[in-house]
Structure 1
Amino acid sequence: MGARPIEGRMTAASEDGVVVFLIGMRVNSFAAVRSWWPVARAMGPMLAELARERDSGLLGYKALLGGPREAYLVQYWESKEKLLAYAAAPDGSHRPTWAAFNRRLREGKGKVGFWHETYVVPAGSHESIYVNMPEFGLGRATGVVPVARRGDRAAERLRVN
């Protein structure tokens, strides 16, 4: 089924800055299951760990497919400091997972690809609109409010004169 749509025009409740982190993988050889399957499975435990740690900084995420070979996550973070702290935490699951992943990448000789992009978006530099949608994207991560509360036009929500 899925979430019920919220009738009308909504926007993300957050007016604060946000970090958008995109991370994904590409299966370059479906036959090389031993190369790509561990990569595909690695994200779940890290997301569970982040969900348990309320102060981790992860606001929300959405898993997406980019065709038959590609999978990726869109993640929303409170700050770049919290994202980087999680990545470097010596007692977290990211560092050992990352080390194992790098070994598999080298051993796999191109059977699986990996990428990530990080965008630091200051307050006043993002806007959103969701029409007859369930909470989605940044709105799901931070909650939604009626558009009129933040401005009827994108320029108003972006604080452009």
Structure 2
Amino acid sequence: MDLVNGIRLVARPEWTRVGPHTPEAGREHTPEHGRAPLRGRYLAENDEPVAILLIGLRVNRWFAVRHWAPVLMAMPRMLRDLSRDPDSGLLGYRLLLGPTVGQVMVIQYWRRAGDIRAFAHDAQRAHRPAETAFWKRYFAGKGAVGIWHEMLSVRAGGYQCLYGDMPPTGLGAIMGLQPAVSREGGHGYDRGEDPAFAATTEEERQAAVETLISRREAGTR
């Protein structure tokens, strides 16, 4: 079963639970991997706090398969367990391979840090037995596999997510998207309805480019 879950994760490396503020128009597209890009620039809504958990694994000795393979296969099982529970607090995840062969990282998006801690300490969930088994193999392997994690808790309004010609991705798929408008007289972007950054045709895209050039020449970006 772990192998099957692992294959599914690699085949579909992104899963997203639609957030409470995601516009209805994008709701049907959000959970699907391989969506068509949205033309223009967009900002993710940031009116809600969010916790981000980065989990990485590095194979240090390839021939010690019995030490690193079970650890690698434990992650898909935990993600599947969480994805089935709408009250777990997990909003979505993305699987990233690299930057070198033998390294894997999963980005997890949560409602709050407390949900992560509750999951980690719940003896009824897949994480606790998997964690116990991991530490036994980790010490027995004497450095055959390495693992790390970083948890970031961000207040509402304390993050910015910008997307250009991308499908709904990451927090943009979870929180919902608004057109991104260049700030007058400075760097950065604000949410708005400027059609220059919501262009959907080639003519509108060309007009958007001309608008951007004009603003930069005028010193307003």
Which TM-score applies when normalising by structure 2? 0.66
1:107 aligns with: 140
> In structure 1, the residue corresponding to 2:83 is in which secondary structure?
helix
Q: Relative contact order (alpha carbons < 8 A, sep ≥ 6): 1 or 2 greater?
A: 1
Q: Using the alignment, how far apart are the partners of 2:34 and 2:189 within structure 1?
A: 32
Unaligned 5+ segments in structure 1 are none
User: Any stretches of 5+ residues in structure 2 without a counterpart?
Assistant: 1-32, 192-221
1:95 aligns with 2:163: no
Equivalence for 1:10: 42
Aligned-CA RMSD value: 1.8
* 1:59 equivalent in alignment to 2:91: yes
Tell me if the contact between 2:46 and 2:160 (Cα under 8 Å) persists in the aligned partners.
no
Q: Normalising by structure 1, what TM-score? A: 0.89
CA distance in 2, matches of 1:96, 1:53: 18
1:82 and 2:121 aligned? no
Match of 1:147 in 2: 180
Counterpart code for 2:114: E
Q: Aligned equivalents of 1:22 and 1:48: distance in 2? A: 17
- Paired residue total: 155
Contact 1:127 1:154 in 2 (8 A): no
Does 2:69 align with 1:49? no
Distance apart, 1:140 and its partner CA: 2.5
Percent identical residues? 42
1:115-150 deviation digits (Å, cap 9, x = unpaired): 0000111111100110000111211233323225xx
Runs of 4 or more consecutive aligned structure 1 residues displaced over 6 Å after TM superposition: none
Displacement of 1:76 after TM fit? 0.8
